[in-house]
Structure 1
Amino acid sequence: MTGMNGEAPPAPAGKRAGPDRIGPVLFAQGGDAGRDRLRALLVCPAGETPPTIVTDEGEIAPMVLVEEFGRTVHAYDFSLPSGTSSGYEIDGVRYPVTSPAMPDMRIGYVSCNGQEEGDLDRPIEERDAVWQRLADENLRDPFALLLQGGDQLYADDVLRCHPEVERWESMEKTERGAVALTPEITEALRRFYFERYLITYDRPAFASLAARVPSIMMWDDHDIIDGWGSHPAEMLDSPVGKEIFAAAREMFLIFQLAIRPDETPATGFDTTGTNLGTAIRYPGLSVISPDLRSERRLERVMGETGWRVLERAFEETPRGDRILVMSSVPALGPRLSWAEFAADILPGSNEYEDDLRDQWQSRTHRTEWKRFLSLLAGWEESGRGELTVVSGEIHLATRGEMRLKGGSIMHQLVASGISHPAPSPGYPRMLGLLARFGESPLKGRKIRIRPLPGYATTYAGERNYLVLDRKGTAWQAVWELEETGRTAPIAI
């Protein structure tokens, strides 16, 4: 909502407002042998005439996605030649773009862009040190895609955006339905997410990458609030709880899927908007991103809509494609039933219950986990193509292997904590101990968690990002670790 003169009303006392202008931010829309389709977002002050984008197609005029809080979010749809390096110009600045269809190309993967408390209070040089390393690397050796696998936004501060939301958060989870929803709460929630996206996208390292490398994004819990979906129904379905999700979803559609709030993704398979999973395809490459939050509940990861979306994405993948599956929480991981048992009985441990319930390996989700693994394994075992899982969420770097029937190996690559502080040393040690026991939810397909090349422990407790490198038909992966530096490559 804007003021009478088109300007944004002042932010509530103590709340941080975002900039009036951000962008361009590029989003990958897929491509074929001729053109790569792109969408760019640009945010301007409301009422200001936006610039055009210039490409080899000519001038590209914007369309309006939304006008909110004194700004207009514009979108530009255009395409660039496939299989080459090209670019576009806006406001007199030219931005080079590398096609994902080139025989030799690189993909970056990041997750966990923030921290739970005080994220805006950190010096940007410290907060974005690894982002800056990634941005500098892109200027030296450009990436064709940037996969952002969850927690692009640490939005937990939304619980302090309004006094009644703070009161809601302070209550027992099962009693939160007692707080009534008001128009003022709705406005405060929507404003919070809108402004936080502007602040996040305005940071220099991110802005440099986002203008040059098309992103594919999928949300996770912190893009809503911590543990969203792994809480009691009384909390999720309370009037304020439902409005938190609605506001987060609205802004996720605008700023991470680059569509209007009343649209469903053109790269998705669910016209109802219940599940926002996507599949984005280029010649020989499909990036499948299941939505593991929209339908999540204590007893499930996805509803039947989500499963239909995911299974259809696999069914429609061309034979021979390399599939990259972005699972926001790791698909391969250590057995967690013992940790969940301890959380049930040990005093003070129930605060970790939602974190454990978030994982595919939770005892509550075991049937679904097997369904997910069967889908992944079935793709390779059927001979239709190769598949790699990329994942984040755990604030550590590691990798996993599942040995498939016939002797091939499905790889999982975990890169988590592009800006989240490294955890205390006890956390990776504890997960490493659990990982020693292995796990075999699918008969005859053993899972093992492996250390990064040259790393002493199974889990690397440093901020990091992942680089996937394709040369012809050969793929390899390396991690960039904040302290240790570059790992040796592994073939995937």
Structure 2
Amino acid sequence: YMSYMLASVPSLMMWDDHDIFDGWGSFPKELQETPVFSEIFKYAKKYFELFQIRSLSNHSLLSKDGAHYAFCLSFNGYTILGLDNRSDRTIRQVMSAKQWEQVLATLENTTEGTLLIMSAVPVVYRDFSFTETAFDVTPWDENLTDDLKDHWRAKEHQGERSRLIMRLLENAKLRHKTDQPIKTVILSGDVHVGCLGVITDFRDDNPIKIHQIVSSGIVHPAPSLLQWLGISAVTNDNIEVINEERTIEASMLKPVGSKRYIRERNFVTLEEGTDDKLWVNWITEDCMSETSERPEYPITPRQAGK
């Protein structure tokens, strides 16, 4: 059934750490560059390129030499920008200078329509800084913190994250000058729950918003209640202030018809309504049960020319 689906349904794919191995890129340099790690990466890259990217002849790729696999394509009023957060990842960077150059050039040339950004790890999520600081003083750093270092909010990646947020806001403002209602949406996963985040820029009278949709891995089991209570105890989802002027904020939203975090395996569908809203529906593993939640959320576009 899986082979039939992959042969029948158009797909856009981007790899994350488990396509190589858990935490790839978030280990110390001396470990990351060992012969064993290098060989594993070489073969993971080979087969990802063959089966998911479908060779370097893929015209949507930003890099034509296989240095990374970021891509961009447009269709029917939508532009999809996929960020490669693994090819060049180190414990100090998420994307290389060259990928950044190509991504920013792509954003400068994306001047209309709705923008969907694929980021394997959420840009907006719970704050793990307390846990990260605690683990930084333990002797078990590489065994316990690779998942923490994988997050955009890890202290080593906060500068890149701020750069990404500000450039996406600049692009959103550029597209809002057209005569069409505009939406900017980050599509993400990795954290084994479903959830919804938003970045709000209050610098204009009519705030610019970037929404983020997170779907859990469809195969990975969701955290148990006890596990989630443990995660909640050492993290928080307070409103985050992004800039010095305190005019840009990031926060977690509550989907309609569910708790803030969806602790069921799920996938997401996006449907554009006749009202120009983008309707987000999390289809959960137990969705047919009478007691199951049915999370959804309407993303309202910012009106044209404002």
TM-score using structure 1 length: 0.54
Map of 2:116 onto structure 1: 324
Please tell me whether residue 467 in structure 1 is matched to residue 269 in structure 2: yes
Q: Give how far 1:235 is off.
A: 1.9
Counterpart contact for 1:324–1:389, Cα < 8 Å: yes
SS in 2 for 1:256: helix
Counterpart contact for 1:336–1:363, Cα < 8 Å: no
Q: Give how far 1:335 is off.
A: 2.1
Within 5 Å, which residues of 2 pair with 1:377-416?
377-382=169-174, 383=176, 385-405=182-202, 406=204, 407-416=207-216
CA distance in 2, matches of 1:426, 1:303: 38
Map of 1:429 onto structure 2: 229
1:16-41 Cα offsets, whole Å, 9 max, x none, are xxxxxxxxxxxxxxxxxxxxxxxxxx
Q: Give how far 1:485 is off.
A: 5.0
Counterpart contact for 2:72–2:81, Cα < 8 Å: yes
Q: Hey, which of these two has a bigger chunk of strand by percent? A: 1
* Aligned mate of 2:70, from 277, 288, 296: 277
Map of 2:87 onto structure 1: 294
Q: Give how far 1:462 is off.
A: 0.9
CA distance in 2, matches of 1:347, 1:213: 47
- Matching residue's letter, 1:454: G
SS in 1 for 2:264: coil
Within 5 Å, which residues of 2 pair with 1:22-33?
none
Within 5 Å, which residues of 2 pair with 1:20-419?
204=1, 206-259=2-55, 263=56, 265-317=58-110, 319-345=111-137, 351-382=143-174, 383=176, 385-405=182-202, 406=204, 407-419=207-219
SS in 1 for 2:53: coil
SS in 1 for 2:24: coil
CA distance in 2, matches of 1:290, 1:347: 33
Counterpart contact for 2:196–2:213, Cα < 8 Å: yes
- Matching residue's letter, 2:168: L
Map of 1:477 onto structure 2: 280
Q: Give how far 1:274 is off.
A: 1.3
SS in 1 for 2:145: helix
Map of 2:303 onto structure 1: none
Structure 2 residues without counterparts, runs of 5 or longer: 287-291, 301-306
Count of matched residue positions in the alignment of Structure 1 and Structure 2: 283
SS in 2 for 1:244: helix
Sort the Cα spacing of 1:488 and 1:365 in 2 relative to 1 into closer, same or farther, 3 A.
closer
CA RMSD between the two structures: 2.0
Structure 1 residues without counterparts, runs of 5 or longer: 1-203
CA radius of gyration, larger in: 1
CA distance in 2, matches of 1:336, 1:428: 14
CA distance in 1, matches of 2:256, 2:230: 20
Map of 2:239 onto structure 1: 438
1:157-210 Cα offsets, whole Å, 9 max, x none, are xxxxxxxxxxxxxxxxxxxxxxxxxxxxxxxxxxxxxxxxxxxxxxx2x33432
Map of 2:304 onto structure 1: none
Identity of aligned residues (%): 29
TM-score using structure 2 length: 0.86
- Matching residue's letter, 1:229: G
